[in-house]
Amino acid sequence: MRKGLLIVVSGPSGCGKGTVLGKIDKDKLGLCYAVSATTRAMREGEVDGVNYHYLQESQFEKLIAEDKVLEYTKYCGNYYGTLREEVENRLAQGQDVLLEIEVDGGKNVKRLCPDAVLLFIAPPSIQELERRLRKRATETEKVIAERVSQAEREIKCAKYYDYIIINGELEKAISDVSSVITAEKISAQNKEKIIVEVLNS
């Protein structure tokens, strides 16, 4: 059985990656999303186990000590991490798994899994990013300022990514992300796995 494809999507807070990823047809693309763990507070409308696994700091640190976290980072004062159980078995079973994580996590995943495909979603400009963060009205001014300066750092890291998709017009960004994933699933990098799959089915 072929091993699944690991897809990492990053992009600064407010670039619209949540909206883009919410709109791509993940069933048609044959993707499952890994649910990360975090110690940040739940936002209105979010659901435990769907958007994140919401943990206390001590619970998160226990998972790290038990080596149950594939990668993690501290972002704006909170832990965020990918749980091994959300990823490893699925990939081994041939499922394609998508991680939505920040850039340090993306770099770590590429180091741990060199076959992973890294996609970066960028806003058209920093001004537009700030406008979108304000419109979302889920964070205080202090957190917005922190996230804007973090965004500038993250955008510079996009050079480590395989693809950069500008989210100016939402429909175009959805179509670009879907096209990249479709192409990667049938790419030359996967050809050995695809041949084995064809011969064994």
Among 4, 16, 105, 123, binds ligand 5GP (CB under 6 A): 105
According to CB under 6 A, which residues from 33 to 52 bind ligand 5GP? 36, 40
Is 100 an interacting residue with respect to ligand 5GP (CB under 6 A)?
yes
The 8-class DSSP code of residue 48 comes to B
Q: Which residue is nearest to ligand 5GP (CB)?
A: 105
According to CB under 6 A, which residues from 55 to 74 bind ligand 5GP? 71-73
Is 102 an interacting residue with respect to ligand 5GP (CB under 6 A)?
yes
Q: Which residues pair with 82 in a beta bridge?
A: 71
Alpha helices in the chain, H assignment, sequence order? 17-23, 57-65, 84-92, 103-112, 126-136, 141-156, 170-185, 191-200
- Cα–Cα distances (Å) from 196 to 92, 96, 117, 182, in that order, read 15, 17, 21, 19
Residue 186 sits at φ, ψ, to 5 deg, of -115, 20
Nearer to ligand 5GP, 2 or 40 (CB): 40
How far from the centroid of its chain's Cα atoms is residue 112's Cα? 15
Q: Is the Cβ–Cβ distance between 144 and 186 less than 8 Å?
A: no
Is 167 an interacting residue with respect to ligand 5GP (CB under 6 A)?
no
In the complex, least distance from residue 15 CB atom to ligand 5GP, rounded to whole angstroms: 9
Stretch that binds ligand 5GP, among 55-63, 94-102, 125-133, 178-186 (CB under 6 A): 94-102
Interface positions with ligand 5GP (CB under 6 A): 13, 36, 40, 71-73, 75, 80-82, 100-102, 104-105
